[in-house]
Amino acid sequence: MQFETIPHPSPTDDAARDAAIADPGFGTVFTDHMVTIDYDEAKGGWHSASLGPREPIALDPAASVLHYAQEIFEGMKAYRMADGSMALFRPEENARRFNASARRMAMPELPEELFLEAVRKVVAKDADWFPSVEGGSLYIRPFMFATEAFLGVRPAKQYKFLVILSAAGNYFKSGAPAVSIWQSEYTRAAPGGTGAAKTGGNYAASLVPTGEAFARGHDQVLFLDAVEKKWVEELGGMNLFFVMRDGRVITPPLTGTILPGITRESLIALLGEEGRDVREEPYSIDQWRADAASGDLVEVMACGTAAVVTPVGKVDSADGEFVIGNGGPGELTSKIREKLVGIQRGSVEDTHGWVKRVG
């Protein structure tokens, strides 16, 4: 597909941009450009791809996303390599997962190559927005939503796909060495629901429990399964790994109610290479509490693109709180984080072919 390039009438001046990317935090500093591609069943599918200025989009008030939440997204990052070039980490996995989410939400799939081309184009265009802060990255947000003006309940026939970018520094405001989490009584996803799709509705449902977590001074919310309220699933936007004293590492299995994280899958591979016995098996909150008390559990890591690999130091719930290990970052968590970050930034050899240069 040909991309039309639309010039920006008034790009951000260099001084303002450089000030914005010096310490961008997460999710508030946006770059100048975006990609849009439209879908219309009546026009034979995807059409009108463009790379142009980032600007508001006009929507009909009856656009079905505004009523029935037909929306999906991805989250990925462009990293600065040791040689100064930029690279993406396993972007084909994001393209594939985007389409898996699309199928679950009755939305059209986007050819994987088109998804990747859209991402590469806007990243190359706004490379100057790469944050100057240590550990910074360009956070990439591809997303799609239903634009058709129609209030009946059925899959829409018109959609919009966009890619926007945000300069990103640290994800957690606290900057604490380990995060503390709040075990919510709310659930995130039920069997047969949309838990494995990266769709806005899952996040809407997590806002009240996340608000509770913040109000109690925690960094993230922990969800248990919706049926037995017993099995650990994941955090609001991160998967979990439990490191046992005997060397085993446990992560909850992909049963359709948790998001299949690409960081999760990468960690399973890296931990295996470290000689760890990694098991995708259910782990209960009671076991977690007991293993933390006995010392059989030595570390817990949370992982995802936004927060990379983050140690979990403390869990709080209606039943009281408990601490994992010494409450700080553990040895394996730090080692695996360094290895992953090293691969992403080109200082550790990429034996899996995970890293894709841009430009």
Ligand X SMILES: *Cc1c(COP(=O)(O)O)cnc(C)c1O
Which residue from 263, 310, 333, 344 is in contact with ligand X, where contact means CB under 6 A?
A: 263
- Determine, following the binding rule CB under 6 A, whether residue 237 of this chain makes contact with ligand X: yes
Q: What is the DSSP string of 13-53?
A: PHHHHHHHTTS--SS-EE-SEEEEEEEEGGGTEEEEEEEEE
In whole angstroms, the minimum distance from the beta carbon of 236 to ligand X comes to 6
Residues 17-46 that bind ligand X (CB under 6 A): none
Strands (DSSP E) contained in the chain are 3-5, 29-30, 33-40, 45-53, 71-73, 76-80, 86-89, 137-146, 158-168, 179-183, 220-224, 232-235, 239-244, 248-251, 277-280, 297-304, 308-316, 322-323, 355-358
In whole angstroms, the minimum distance from the beta carbon of 183 to ligand X comes to 16
89-94 contacts at long range (C-beta below 8 A, 24 or more positions apart): 89/262, 89/305, 89/343, 89/344, 89/354, 89/355, 89/356, 90/262, 90/266, 90/354, 90/356, 91/116, 91/119, 91/356, 92/116, 92/356, 93/262, 93/265, 94/119, 94/142, 94/262
In whole angstroms, the minimum distance from the beta carbon of 58 to ligand X comes to 28
Per the CB < 8 A criterion, the answer to whether 258 and 233 are in contact is: yes
- Determine, following the binding rule CB under 6 A, whether residue 234 of this chain makes contact with ligand X: yes
- Determine, following the binding rule CB under 6 A, whether residue 225 of this chain makes contact with ligand X: no
Three-state secondary-structure class, residue 212: helix
Q: Closer to ligand X at the Cβ: 131 or 195?
A: 195
- Applying CB under 6 A, which part among 17-25, 129-137, 258-266, 343-351 lies near ligand X? 258-266
- Determine, following the binding rule CB under 6 A, whether residue 261 of this chain makes contact with ligand X: yes
- Determine, following the binding rule CB under 6 A, whether residue 312 of this chain makes contact with ligand X: no
- Determine, following the binding rule CB under 6 A, whether residue 238 of this chain makes contact with ligand X: yes
- Determine, following the binding rule CB under 6 A, whether residue 239 of this chain makes contact with ligand X: yes
Three-state secondary-structure class, residue 104: helix
What is the rounded CA–CA span in Å between residue 253 and residue 240? 10
Residues pairing with 47 in the sheet: 38
What is the rounded CA–CA span in Å between residue 11 and residue 259? 37
In whole angstroms, the minimum distance from the beta carbon of 96 to ligand X comes to 11
In whole angstroms, the minimum distance from the beta carbon of 259 to ligand X comes to 3
- Applying CB under 6 A, which part among 8-16, 79-87, 233-241, 328-336 lies near ligand X? 233-241
Which residue from 49, 262, 312, 332 is in contact with ligand X, where contact means CB under 6 A?
A: 262
Q: Closer to ligand X at the Cβ: 262 or 301?
A: 262
- Applying CB under 6 A, which part among 1-9, 212-220, 255-263, 313-321 lies near ligand X? 255-263
In whole angstroms, the minimum distance from the beta carbon of 75 to ligand X comes to 5
In whole angstroms, the minimum distance from the beta carbon of 94 to ligand X comes to 7
Q: Closer to ligand X at the Cβ: 297 or 309?
A: 309
As given in the structure block, the two tokens for residue 74 are 């991805």
Q: How many residues bind ligand X (CB under 6 A)?
A: 13
Residues 52-91 that bind ligand X (CB under 6 A): 75
Angle ∠(303,309,313) on CA atoms, nearest 5: 95
Residue window 162-201: x/- pattern of binding to ligand X, with contact defined by CB under 6 A: ------------------------------------x---
Per the CB < 8 A criterion, the answer to whether 145 and 196 are in contact is: no
Binding site for ligand X (CB under 6 A): 75, 198, 234, 237-239, 259, 261-264, 304-305
